[in-house]
């Protein structure tokens, strides 16, 4: 797939008409919607119909199902994601016509430039191996609560509003994806790095190169402040590298349980429905941090969001109140249903760090058995981190493994879910690890394992998200919970 190189940006009104290829994706749809809301002519196509296309059409985007060269119409700019292949007929036609072709990150970054209603927007870019969607959503939601009227594009719909994007006249908050290097595109004044753990080595090659990318992201000219997690080893190394830049580097704002942090968390407590902590900002202002949902990681994400909001001028009490009112994002420990005494939760976690955090939240919140259905995402990630996945999954009582979700990749010899199963079985015991190779048998296996009072988590970035509703229907059937 390769890394994306930054391009010279121009304002959105100089791009139109704009056509988005694969407009139904989570990263593309929000950007297209905001371009349409700016009053620009916007079109987009996707390989299959979906509710997302219907929503975009309602917001003024001309949508197409399937890809064909003539659907470009009078477009001057074509926006693509990393997942769009070079043989896509619309992309081929765009190159034939000599049109401007931008990666989605450039189209998003253009929203951070001055425009008539926002002559000098303050940009915030939130990055990290794990936690960037929740943290960026917390920043956006808290700024809305504070009346700051942000523009935002994050990686999942905020549950309160049902959208991943909003257009305002205040700060611009974006989730900055490191997977393909596109986080280097954003002209941000404030950057956040939640953690740095190796991932996406199919693009970056080595853990060292991956870490170098974050150093470039946080140390670019124009970055005034870098908000870093003091508890994360990767961020600790990053902080040392940024310090070497001297006056040319950004102000560092550290957060976490380390007493050396600018924002110190103490007494972090995970409850079944919320997480709390005692927060102290720069040695003077203190208060109770409350954030809905279970998970130690949520306290850290909320701390990062608090720090950003303070840097943007939000006062202490307003920031705490906004975080306490956060409504969550889709597929982040999202309740599917309670049925027959069984609680079913869905989570997007697909990296060992994310799986570990999600299951730790489940373990802390449940006070009951934890049954996890996990679908590895990408053959390359499974190959690189099978042992780490096994260790993270061992937090469960029972693990059901689905086959690898390939996404954009072709199979790799010798790489399958068996690698994760073996790594997990060493820690949990083979009798508690169940690799189900046939998709149609996953729900029946879960039904055999589930008992009244269990918490069931479906975990992964692929179509495992459909398993939860299927299991709920099965448990609500005539045989109920066994």
Confirm whether residue 63 is marked as ligand binding: no
Asked if residue 375 and residue 263 are part of one domain, the reply reads no
Residue that has been written with the tokens 């790489």 in this structure: 415
Angle separating helix axes 296-311 and 316-324, nearest 10 degrees: 140
Q: What is the pLDDT of residue 271?
A: 86
Number of independent structural domains in the chain? 3
Query: Is 134 labelled as part of a ligand binding site?
Result: yes
Residue 22 has pLDDT above 90, yes or no: yes
Domain membership flag for residue 158:
yes
* Partners of 251 in beta bridges: 225
Shared-domain flag, residues 373 and 288: no
The whole-number pLDDT of residue 334 equals 83
Same domain, 216 and 361: no
Q: What does the pLDDT look like over 366-392, one tens digit per residue? A: 667 999 999 999 999 899 989 999 999
- Domain final residue pick, 324, 353, 378: 324
Residue 328: what pLDDT? 80
Residues 345 and 394 in one domain: yes
Last residue in a domain, options 324, 358, 382? 324
Q: Note whether 316 and 344 are same-domain residues.
A: no
Residue 130 is assigned to a ligand binding site: yes
Q: What share of the chain is helix, strand, coil (3-state, %, to 5)?
A: 40, 25, 40
What is the pLDDT, as a whole number, of residue 335? 83
Q: Are residues 197 and 224 in the same domain?
A: yes
Residue 480, in any domain of the structure: no
Q: Is 129 annotated as a binding residue?
A: yes
What is the model's pLDDT at position 2?
76
> Which residues, 6+ apart, have CB-to-CB distance to 209 below 8 Å?
none
Q: Are 257 and 363 in a shared domain? A: no
Tell me if residue 132 is catalytic: yes
Among 133, 151, 275, 465, the one annotated catalytic: 133
Regarding whether 355 and 291 lie in a shared domain, the answer is no
Instruction: Confirm whether residue 273 is marked as ligand binding.
Output: no
Residue tagged 């982040």 (tokens): 332
Instruction: Give the pLDDT confidence score for residue 442 in this predicted structure.
Output: 95
CA nearest to 319, candidates 154, 136, 143:
143
pLDDT (mean) for 312-325 = 97
Q: What is the band of 273 on the pLDDT scale with cuts at 50, 70, 90?
A: confident
User: Among 103, 131, 149, which residue terminates a domain?
Assistant: 103
Q: Say whether both 317 and 345 belong to one domain.
A: no
Q: Do both 307 and 414 map to the same domain?
A: no
The answer on 270 and 132 residing in a single domain is yes
**pLDDT computed for residue 203 by the predictor:** 84
Nearest to 471 by CA among 321, 280, 336: 336
CATH no. for residue 64?
A: 3.40.50.720
Q: Is residue 7 part of a domain?
A: no
Please check whether residue 481 lies inside any domain of the structure. Answer: no
In this structure, is residue 161 part of a structural domain? yes
Residue-wise pLDDT for 323-351, tens only, equals 999 988 777 778 889 898 898 989 888 88
Q: What is the pLDDT of residue 160?
A: 83
CATH number at residue 471: 3.90.190.20
Domain coverage including residue 369: 334-475
**Mean pLDDT over all residues of the chain?**
92
In a domain, 466, yes or no: yes
312 lies in the same domain as 420: no
Q: State how far the Cα of 108 lies from the Cα of 12, in Å rounded to an integer.
A: 9
Does residue 4 sit within a domain? no
pLDDT digits (tens, 9 = 90+) for 231-268: 999 999 999 999 999 999 999 999 999 998 999 999 99
Q: With contact defined as beta carbons under 8 Å apart, do 334 and 346 qualify?
A: yes
- Helix H or strand E segment including 474: helix 467-475
Provide mean pLDDT across the span 118-142. 93
Residue with tokens 């001055």: 114
Rounded Cα distance between 102 and 466, Å, is 32
Of the residues 93, 175, 178, 197, which is catalytic?
Answer: 175
Confidence (pTM):
0.84
Q: Which pLDDT value is given to residue 366?
A: 62
Catalytic residue check, 133 = yes
Q: What is the mean pLDDT of residues 439-459?
A: 93
Which of residues 276 and 85 earns the better pLDDT score? 276
pLDDT at 53 over 80: yes
Q: Which of 63, 90, 132, 458 is catalytic?
A: 132
Decide which of 449 and 2 is more confident: 449
Which pLDDT band holds residue 416 (cuts at 50, 70, 90)?
Answer: very high
pLDDT (tens digit per residue) in 178-195: 988 999 999 999 999 999
pLDDT given for residue 333 in this prediction = 78
270 in any annotated domain: yes
The CATH number of residue 233's host domain is: 3.40.1190.10
Question: What is the reported pLDDT for 350?
Answer: 84
């Amino acid at each position: 797939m390769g890394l994306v190189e930054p391009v010279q940006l121009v304002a959105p009104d100089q791009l139109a008409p704009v056509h988005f290829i694969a407009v139904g994706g989570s990263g593309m749809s929000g950007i297209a919607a905001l371009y349409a809301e700016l009053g620009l002519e916007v079109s987009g196509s996707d390989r299959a119909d979906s509710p997302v296309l219907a929503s975009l059409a309602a917001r003024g985007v001309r949508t197409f199902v399937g890809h064909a060269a003539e659907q470009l119409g009078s477009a001057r700019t074509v926006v693509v994601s990393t997942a769009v292949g070079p043989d896509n007929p619309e992309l081929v036609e765009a190159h034939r016509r000599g049109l401007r072709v931008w990666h989605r990150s450039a189209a998003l970054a253009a929203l951070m430039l001055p425009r008539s209603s926002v002559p000098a927007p303050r940009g915030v870019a939130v990055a990290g191996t794990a936690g960037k969607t929740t943290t960026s959503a917390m920043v956006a939601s808290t700024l809305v609560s504070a009346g700051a009227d942000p523009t935002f594009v994050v990686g999942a719909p905020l549950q309160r509003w049902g959208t991943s994007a909003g257009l305002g006249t205040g700060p611009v908050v974006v989730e900055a994806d490191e997977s393909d290097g596109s986080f280097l595109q954003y002209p941000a004044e404030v950057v956040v790095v939640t953690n740095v753990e190796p991932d996406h080595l199919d693009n970056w090659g080595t853990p060292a190169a991956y870490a170098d990318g974050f150093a470039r992201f946080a140390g670019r000219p124009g970055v005034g402040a870098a908000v870093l997690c003091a508890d994360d080893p990767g961020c600790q190394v990053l902080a040392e590298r940024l310090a070497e830049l001297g006056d040319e580097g950004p102000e560092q704002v550290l957060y976490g349980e380390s007493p050396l942090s600018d924002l110190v968390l103490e007494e972090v407590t995970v409850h079944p429905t919320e997480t709390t902590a005692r927060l102290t900002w720069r040695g003077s202002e203190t208060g109770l941090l409350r954030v809905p949902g279970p998970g130690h990681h949520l306290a850290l994400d909320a701390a990062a969001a608090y720090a950003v909001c303070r840097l943007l001028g939000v006062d202490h009490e307003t920031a705490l109140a906004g975080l306490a009112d956060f409504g969550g994002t889709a597929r982040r420990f999202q309740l599917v249903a309670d049925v027959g005494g069984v609680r079913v939760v869905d989570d997007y976690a697909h990296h060992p760090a994310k799986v570990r955090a999600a299951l730790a939240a489940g373990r802390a919140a449940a006070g009951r058995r934890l049954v996890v259905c996990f679908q590895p995402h990408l053959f390359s990630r499974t190959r690189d981190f099978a042992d780490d996945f096994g260790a993270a999954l061992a937090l469960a009582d029972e693990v059901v493994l689905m086959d690898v979700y390939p996404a954009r990749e072709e199979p790799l010899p010798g790489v399958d879910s068996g690698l994760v199963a073996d790594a997990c079985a060493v820690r949990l015991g083979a009798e508690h690890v169940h690799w189900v190779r046939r998709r149609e048998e996953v729900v029946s296996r879960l039904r055999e394992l589930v008992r009244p009072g269990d918490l069931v988590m479906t975990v992964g970035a692929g179509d495992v998200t459909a398993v939860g509703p299927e299991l709920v229907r099965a448990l609500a059937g005539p045989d109920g919970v066994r």
